[in-house]
Structure 1
Amino acid sequence: MSDERTPPRRPQVFRLDEAAITMAPPEPVEPAFPLPVPAPEPRRSWGLSLAGLFWSALGGVLSLMAYVGLSQLITDLFARAEWLGYVGLAFTAALLAAAIAIVAREVAGMARLTKLDTIRASAEKALAEDDRALAETVVRDVLRLSAETPSLARARTDLEGHLTGIIDGADLVRLSERTLLAGLDSRARQMVSDAARNVSVVTAVSPRAAVDLAFVLYSAVTLMRRLAQLYGGRPGTLGTFKLVKHVLGHLAITGGMAAGDTLVQQIVGQGLAARLSARLGEGVVNGLLTARLGLAAIAVTRPLPFTALPAPRLADVAGGLLRKAEEDEAAASRRQ
């Protein structure tokens, strides 16, 4: 079989504008990197969700029912006796006044919790950008929050005297933290430590799991409310629900029980919980849970972030739980 090869083409010279020349279309070249796909346009919101429409309509219907029922009651009372009608009007007026006062208190409590978040976000921005004007606004807001705490009167006077002398915004925020919040942080740690110890003791001696759960929930919610009041929050009933949601959200973001904490490493790494009895082990775990909830409550109710002062750790507020449990276990073993 012969090897037939195409002879090489000789080079030729031609003009691009000749009529007999046909240019082939260029081959498509794939990009080295994929082109970005445009994000889908967000769905247009109509301003009111179905859930919002449902609750608004339900509130309107209940309000109309209450109005019709009260008006019918007053009419029936006047039909029976005139003095009964006036008594009904007096009770209705007292009921409306109490309802307005309760709503106003709940709105004020929600607003104060929101104010704490706003001040903390502004303080973080002032620290990051060293904004002097924003830092002064933050400090004045914190001063207004602490105006109802008599024990901080001297600290407020000292801080107000240094407002014009500090040039850097970040230094002003740190100075206000050291001056106003050092004492409050110490009291907050003590409150968390006491609550964790009480929960540990009660759940260790309680005979029923339902009692343990109820006491842990009650202690945790009460601790959150007390911490919010300490830092100037004073939440009402609805504000407490918002506070609990905020604390649980903070726990979800920061990793729950904080497995990197030295106290948790001590319990898990050395197997100390396994050496305790079942009831004492449950008490320790419940106490640690309460302490962790308290630390999260401090983080979400404190008006300033931890910068100049160290943030409390689990070992700072619950370090005595394990030591106390081991002592009780050793005493019980000696008695046996």
Structure 2
Amino acid sequence: MIDKPPPRKPMLLDWETGEEGATAPVPPARPPRGVPPPPERVSGPTPADVPPVPDIDLDVPKGQAMLAASRIATVRGSRLGRFAGWVFGTLFAFVLSVAAWDFVAGLLGRNTVLGLVAFVLIGLAVVTAAALGLREWWAYVRLARLDQLRADALAARAKDDLKAARRVVASLEGIYAHRPDLRWGRARLAERHAEVFDVDGLLNLAETELLTSLDQSARREIEAAARQVAAVTALVPLALADVAAALYANLRMVRRIAEIYGGRSGSFGSVRLLRRVFVSLVAAGAVAVTDDLLQSVAGGGVLSKVSRRFGEGMVNGALTARVGVAAMELCRPLPFHAAPRPKVTNLVSRSLTGLFDR
């Protein structure tokens, strides 16, 4: 008989290497009955790895009224919109003229006296409209004259042209020839300008003798406008009231500054000038609350902790002062050179001081 080989014991395979002879894996210990198994650990960021939430100070004043006013003032329609406005305006004027003609002609046929009265009244209305249009055109001319004079002064300084500087001074004297408040300054300039033979000295003399007092008047207008905007924003809680007050105060301030320097802008001229001021400030990024402005407004952030309306009022007043300074630079016939440029901090502090004194 042939002996049978002993039976071989089954060998276990290693799960990782696949080789025989591996020991049997030890099953994990089962938790006792009634106890839930521990949760599986998931790899990923923990709550400690999440970055902190940034601090957003919602109480910091932003000057929303002046920002809204700047957006309203700088809105410009498209060419199609302007063309449509011109077409409809012309059509309305034509229809109104034909209706007035038919009205006067029919009234003359029925009653001569009433027809003549209507004719005279319509004629006066036409003459008044023409006078208003002529005044607006003259306002544009005066503002353009100030712009040209300022450009000529800059060119004379750049080229060191004494003849051009003398022409600028002569034009400046002609603009202010009928101003009684500048009589003394004109007399001093007439006595001394013949003794000056350099461009900088001559233009600085004209700026000092003629424009210093006008600068003071313009500063007072800026302080009054900043005071008005700050008071309305702080004390009137009505919606859009601060925006309307900011637009009105800035429009009035710009118009008064133009009149002080000899611009005498009309209604449409004042709107155009205000738009130019806001466009220049928006292009320079100046219609915004910066750190230096917020620190200069006598602690606007501190006041906003007590009352948000007061903080907004102070910032709106500061932005109004910034608009006023830009209007001075656009309306002044000579750029700031000998006289110091007004600072927003000083204007705001003086305007708020006047507010609390009153």
TM-score range, shorter chain: 0.7 to 0.9
Q: Check if 1:238 corresponds to 2:264.
A: no
* Residue of structure 2 in register with 1:92 after alignment: 122
* Residue of structure 2 in register with 1:194 after alignment: 224
Q: Check if 1:291 corresponds to 2:291.
A: no
Q: Check if 1:303 corresponds to 2:333.
A: yes
Q: CA deviation at 1:126?
A: 1.1
Q: Is the 8 A contact 1:132 1:170 kept in 2?
A: no
- Paired AA for residue 223 in structure 1: M
Q: CA deviation at 1:253?
A: 3.4
Question: CA 1:77/1:314 → structure 2, altered by over 3 Å: closer, same or farther?
Answer: same
Q: CA deviation at 1:81?
A: 0.6
Q: CA deviation at 1:183?
A: 0.8
- Structure 1's unaligned 5+ residue stretches are 1-48, 329-336
* 1:215-226 → structure 2 map (5 Å cutoff): 215-226=245-256
How far apart are the structure 2 equivalents of 1:174 and 1:198?
Answer: 34
Question: CA 1:207/1:274 → structure 2, altered by over 3 Å: closer, same or farther?
Answer: closer
Q: CA deviation at 1:244?
A: 1.0
* Residue of structure 2 in register with 1:116 after alignment: 146
Number of residue equivalences:
279
Return the match for 1:138 from 154, 168, 175: 168
How far apart are the structure 1 equivalents of 2:82 and 2:248?
Answer: 30
1:36-77 deviations in Å (ceiling 9; x for gaps): xxxxxxxxxxxxx87776566545434432331121111111
Q: Which secondary structure state, in structure 2, belongs to the residue aligned with residue 308 of structure 1?
A: coil
* 1:8-27 → structure 2 map (5 Å cutoff): none
Deviates more, 1:250-259 or 1:239-248: 250-259
How far apart are the structure 2 equivalents of 1:270 and 1:105?
Answer: 42
How far apart are the structure 2 equivalents of 1:129 and 1:271?
Answer: 47
Q: CA deviation at 1:295?
A: 1.1
* Residue of structure 2 in register with 1:184 after alignment: 214
* Residue of structure 1 in register with 2:308 after alignment: 278
* Residue of structure 2 in register with 1:264 after alignment: 294
Q: CA deviation at 1:277?
A: 1.6
Identity, % of aligned positions: 35
Q: Relative CO higher for 1 or 2, CA cutoff 8 Å, sep ≥ 6?
A: 2
Q: CA deviation at 1:246?
A: 1.1
Q: CA deviation at 1:184?
A: 0.9
Q: Is the 8 A contact 2:258 2:265 kept in 1?
A: yes
- Structure 2's unaligned 5+ residue stretches are 1-78
Q: CA deviation at 1:112?
A: 0.8
* Residue of structure 1 in register with 2:133 after alignment: 103
* Residue of structure 2 in register with 1:315 after alignment: 345
- Paired AA for residue 202 in structure 1: V
Q: CA deviation at 1:164?
A: 2.4
1:81-112 deviations in Å (ceiling 9; x for gaps): 11111111111221121111111101001111
* 1:142-157 → structure 2 map (5 Å cutoff): 142-157=172-187
Q: Which secondary structure state, in structure 2, belongs to the residue aligned with residue 163 of structure 1?
A: helix
How far apart are the structure 2 equivalents of 1:213 and 1:229?
Answer: 24
Q: Is the 8 A contact 2:251 2:271 kept in 1?
A: no
Q: Is the 8 A contact 2:218 2:257 kept in 1?
A: yes
Backbone CA RMSD of aligned residues: 2.7
- Paired AA for residue 165 in structure 1: E
How far apart are the structure 2 equivalents of 1:187 and 1:261?
Answer: 29
Question: CA 1:279/1:259 → structure 2, altered by over 3 Å: closer, same or farther?
Answer: closer
Q: Is the 8 A contact 2:300 2:314 kept in 1?
A: no
Q: Is the 8 A contact 2:142 2:263 kept in 1?
A: yes
Question: CA 1:153/1:267 → structure 2, altered by over 3 Å: closer, same or farther?
Answer: closer
Q: Which secondary structure state, in structure 1, belongs to the residue aligned with residue 240 of structure 2?
A: helix
